[in-house]
C-alpha cells in the first residue's frame, strides 16, 4: 500500500459523538490551524491555535460562565500564562523577548495592583500600585 492511501486532505475534520454532536474540530478555514474541543452542548472547552506568524496559543474555558479561564500563549512580546475572570480579576506570568520575567495582578475593576519583575541582569522589584497605576512607596 502506498503512503498516498494513508493521507486525508481536508480543510476541516469533525469528530462526533454517538448523538452526532461535534466534539472535536480540526480546521484551517480561517487560514491558520485550529483544534477545538467541544462539550456535548457545543460550547468550546479548549482550543489550540497558531496565528499567522506561527505563534501558538492554548486556551481552557470554564464551564461555569463566571468562572476563571486560562491561557498559555506566545505573542509578539514573548510568552505568558494568563488567568482571567469575566468582568473580574486577572493575573499572568510572563517572560518577554528581552528576557524580563514577572507576574502581574489585576483587581476586579481591571486595575493593575501588583507587579513582580525580574530584569535580564537579575535585578528584581515588587511594585504595589494605586488606583491611578502609580507605584505606592
Helical H segments across 32-96, by residue range: none
| Number of Cα atoms under 13 Å in the Cβ half of residue 95 | 4
pTM for the whole structure? 0.84
Look at residues 36, 23, 79, 27 and name the one whose alpha carbon lies nearest to residue 56.
79
* pLDDT digits 0-9 by tens, 18-52: 999 999 999 999 999 999 999 999 999 999 999 99
* pLDDT digits 0-9 by tens, 56-113: 999 999 999 899 999 999 999 999 999 999 988 999 999 999 999 999 999 999 999 9
The answer for residues whose C-beta is within 8 angstroms of residue 136's C-beta and 6 or more apart is 127, 128, 129, 130
**Domain ranges in the chain?**
1-61, 71-137
| Number of Cα atoms under 13 Å in the Cβ half of residue 59 | 16
Q: Are strands 56-60 and 69-75 parallel, antiparallel or unpaired?
A: antiparallel
The CATH class that applies to domain 71-137 reads: alpha beta
Q: What is the pLDDT of residue 23?
A: 97
Any idea what the Cα angle at residue 32 is, between residues 86 and 25, rounded to 5°?
70
Q: What is the pLDDT of residue 7?
A: 87
The answer for residues whose C-beta is within 8 angstroms of residue 112's C-beta and 6 or more apart is 104, 105, 106, 129, 133
Amino acid at each position: 500500500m502506498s503512503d498516498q492511501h494513508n493521507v486525508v486532505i481536508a480543510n476541516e475534520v469533525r469528530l462526533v459523538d454517538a448523538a452526532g454532536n461535534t466534539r472535536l474540530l480540526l480546521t484551517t478555514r480561517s487560514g491558520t490551524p485550529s483544534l477545538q474541543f467541544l462539550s456535548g452542548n457545543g460550547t468550546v472547552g479548549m482550543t489550540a491555535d497558531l496565528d499567522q506568524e506561527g505563534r501558538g496559543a492554548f486556551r481552557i474555558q470554564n464551564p461555569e460562565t463566571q468562572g476563571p479561564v486560562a491561557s498559555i500563549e506566545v505573542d509578539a512580546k514573548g510568552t505568558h500564562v494568563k488567568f482571567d475572570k469575566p468582568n473580574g480579576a486577572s493575573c499572568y506570568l510572563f517572560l518577554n523577548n528581552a528576557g524580563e520575567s514577572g507576574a502581574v495582578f489585576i483587581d476586579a475593576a481591571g486595575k493593575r495592583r501588583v507587579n513582580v519583575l525580574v530584569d535580564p541582569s537579575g535585578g528584581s522589584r515588587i511594585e504595589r500600585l494605586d488606583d491611578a497605576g502609580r507605584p505606592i512607596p
